[in-house]
Structure 1
Amino acid sequence: MKQPTKIMTAALVMLFSLIQLPVAQAAMITTGEAIQIQQRNIDRNNLLSMLQKDELRAQLAEYGVDAQLAAERISHMTDAEIAMLNDHLDDMPAGESFLSVIGLIVVVLVFTDLFGATDVFPFIRPVN
């Protein structure tokens, strides 16, 4: 009777080991894709570093936006939103006040509130 028990135990061990195997998938990416990924990370980090400036935090507070909440939202933005925000920042002339940056951030937050992605402004109801 010990022989079938050993066979059954071995079969169960093999079955459980097959079930527990992690599935790993790897794919090659091109140099261009790697550069795009790196650029998106740089763009996101630049926006987050802007929020560390005291002037910008003060302006956000005047608009009733918590800087920490804005930073959290930026970290959850899609790549397209980050690109749009950075494109607008690049269009601004050098030396322009933080008011334009704040205005742009507030506009992006209003749109994300409208689409239900965030709830920064309690007076805005999502469209869906």
Structure 2
Amino acid sequence: MTTPFMRPTMRRLAAITALFHLLLVVQIPAANAAMIGTPEVIAEQQHQVDQKQLLAMLDDQQVKDKLVAMGVERDQVEARIASLTPAELAQFNQQLDQAPAGAGVVGIIVLFLVIFIITDMLCATNIFSFVKCINR
């Protein structure tokens, strides 16, 4: 038993329901899956190993003394190491491999200084007061 009142109401309700369902479907993100190759997994693991090696180098007493002498805190260095990209870590490790055995500690400290100065120039940090930000 349909009355003239029910038809427009049902049409309106059906339109609202259809619109609601359409909006719900649009909100759901599509899932994407792909195979991960061995080189990608190895690269990610190498990045983690490189970070751990750098953090282990900070335990060396000569490095600790030099950082204290420069007024740089260990927390800042650890945060900087954590923020290095895989390419930067690879470049750093390549420089360490090419450095002579006795110059390793000095090379590490110089590299950290260069990284700190570059990030100061890019306004990412403000460690050295004599370095001016290039974005200002």
TM-score range (shorter-chain normalised) is 0.7 to 0.9
Q: Deviations over 1:57-99 (max 9, x none)?
A: 3321211112111111111122221112111222234465633
Higher RCO, Cα 8 Å, sep 6+: 1
Greater shift in the superposed pair: 22-31 or 92-101:
92-101
Bigger CA radius of gyration:
2
Counterpart selection for 1:85 from 92, 96, 99: 92
| Secondary structure at 1:81 match in 2 | helix
Distance 1:7 1:28, change over 3 A: same
Number of corresponding residues: 127
Paired position in structure 1 for 2:54: 47
The Cα shift of 1:4 comes to: 2.7
Compute the TM-score of the two structures, normalised by the length of structure 1.
0.77
Counterpart selection for 1:115 from 118, 122, 131: 122
The Cα shift of 1:21 comes to: 0.5
Paired position in structure 1 for 2:37: 30
The answer for unaligned runs of 5 or more in structure 1 is none
CA contact (8 A) 2:121 2:132 kept: yes
Counterpart selection for 1:66 from 51, 63, 73: 73
Question: How high is the sequence identity, in percent, across the aligned residues?
Answer: 37
Counterpart-to-counterpart distance in 2, 1:25 and 1:89: 39
Counterpart-to-counterpart distance in 2, 1:78 and 1:88: 15
Q: Deviations over 1:75-126 (max 9, x none)?
A: 1122221112111222234465633322221122222323334332232113
Compute the TM-score of the two structures, normalised by the length of structure 2.
0.73
Letter in 1 for 2:15: M
- RMSD over aligned Cα atoms: 2.5
